[in-house]
Amino acid sequence: MELVGRSRWFALAMPVALAAVASLMRPAPPGVEAAVRPPERACAAGAWTPALEAGTAWYRLDPMLDATGTLSARRLTAGHGATRWSVVLSAESFASGPVGGRLVVGDDDGRRTRLRLLDTGRACWVSLGTGEDVVRSAVLAPDGSALYEHRVDRATRRDLGVWRRPLSDRGARSVRVLPGLAPDASYGPTFSTQLQLAADGRLIVSACGERACRTRVLDPATGAVAPVDGTGPVAGLAGRHLIVLEPCEGLPCPVDAVDLASGAVTRLDEADGPVLAVPDASGMVVLAHDGGLVVVRLAAAGGTEVPGGAGLEPVAVGSTADSGAEAPPGRVAVAPGGRVTDPSAFRFLDPAALQLTIGEVLP
């Protein structure tokens, strides 16, 4: 069962849970109320194709609370360079990406989930349809050809698995690519399921309960599934290794590399903030440690501190992230507190060169 709005925080996911609490309690950044709404228009018929155009796109989600302090809606602020827009979504909503300048946006009105793409380059929407099941989150394939959705039953919140919605053939039906996970008392009730796509198209599905996470890595090309259970939150794929945090009671938390073929576990380092595997074949991991940024190479012992990285943390990627920025190949976005607030706040890290550059701000 996918739980929503639980008040109990779980020791295993302290790095994730603390970030989530901070996001809910944090006031909206200056200027969020003054942001301009995106044009309420659809992208021109026939103009959208899965051959996506790259651009400096970014987004953030901010909570909107009512007079009682209850989450009543979420404000999505998105931009392309320095140009930005804002739109109010329902309380049960999400955004992910950007991929090729496009964000996946989902919001649920209690009866149906509406799925759209926000094209930040052209400031228009692509409608992807609605569904009676609740789509808790979704991610766009790197080539824009499909959407991967995590669904739960509207009445019972039973896990319905992960579905692939083709976008290159708009008449094709969605197909379930992974079944839902059955409840398991040894893990506790599932409170979060994250989808994350590697650069090579492999899909990571990580369901975390109150004691540990269950992860499956799907290769869509072959249908092969590699399970990894009993870890903490997942930080991504580095070649054949799944990068995970250990189940821990606080920070710092050990970071491990799990060999998907053999199951062998290698301790990489420890982190006191976000961790992110570089989404390429370099075998590098970026983590927050001692108030700075550290790059760890799987093929070498120990990590290397990034000059000028004080106060910066990796920006999370995946379907449950509350902000994001599109990074060039081989680079990762980093920001104060690991959260994108506007285009002037985040940087791009080249882990191989240990260099930070400002994100390009387009007119």
For 147-182, give the DSSP string. Answer: EEEEEE-TTT--EEEEEEEESSSTTSPPEEEEPPPP
Any domain includes 308: yes
SS3 80: strand
Q: Which SS3 state, helix, strand or coil, does residue 23 take? A: helix
Domain-embedded: residue 5 = no
Is 289 a domain residue? yes
CA distance 198 to 203: 6
Amino acid in the structure at residue 126:
V
Instruction: From 211, 285, 227, select the one nearest 255 (Cα to Cα).
Output: 285
In a domain, 363, yes or no: no
CATH number at residue 197: 2.130.10
* Longest alpha-carbon distance in the chain: 53
Please give the pLDDT value at position 37.
Answer: 60
At residue 22, φ and ψ (nearest 5 deg) are: -60, -35
CA distance 12 to 15: 8
pLDDT at position 38, please?
59
Residue 152 φ/ψ, nearest 5 degrees: -130, 155
SS3 annotation, 34-74 = CCCCCCCCECCCCCCCCCCCCCCEEEEEEEEECCCCCEEEE
pLDDT < 50: residue spans in the chain = 1, 3-35, 51, 361-363
Three-class DSSP category at 17: helix
Q: Is residue 317 a contact partner of residue 310, using CB atoms and an 8 Å limit?
A: no
276 forms beta bridges with 286
pLDDT of amino acid 143:
86
Q: What does the block give as tokens for 123?
A: 């400031």
Task: Using alpha carbons, list the distances in angstroms from residue 351 to 148, 287, 303, 312, 321.
Answer: 28, 11, 11, 14, 21
Residue 3: inside a domain: no
Q: What is the pLDDT of residue 54?
A: 56
Domain count, the chain: 1
Q: What is the pLDDT of residues 262-303, one digit of tens each?
A: 999 999 999 998 999 998 777 899 999 889 999 999 877 678
pLDDT at site 46 = 62
In a domain, 196, yes or no: yes
Indicate if the alpha-carbon torsion angle 9, 15, 17, 18 is positive or negative: positive
Residue 169 lies in a domain: yes
Nearest to 112 by CA among 130, 94, 128, 93: 130
Range of the domain at 87: 11-358
Residue that has been written with the tokens 């899965």 in this structure:
50
Position 210 scores a pLDDT of: 85
* Residue at 315 is within a domain: yes
- Distance from the Cα of residue 106 to its chain's centroid: 14
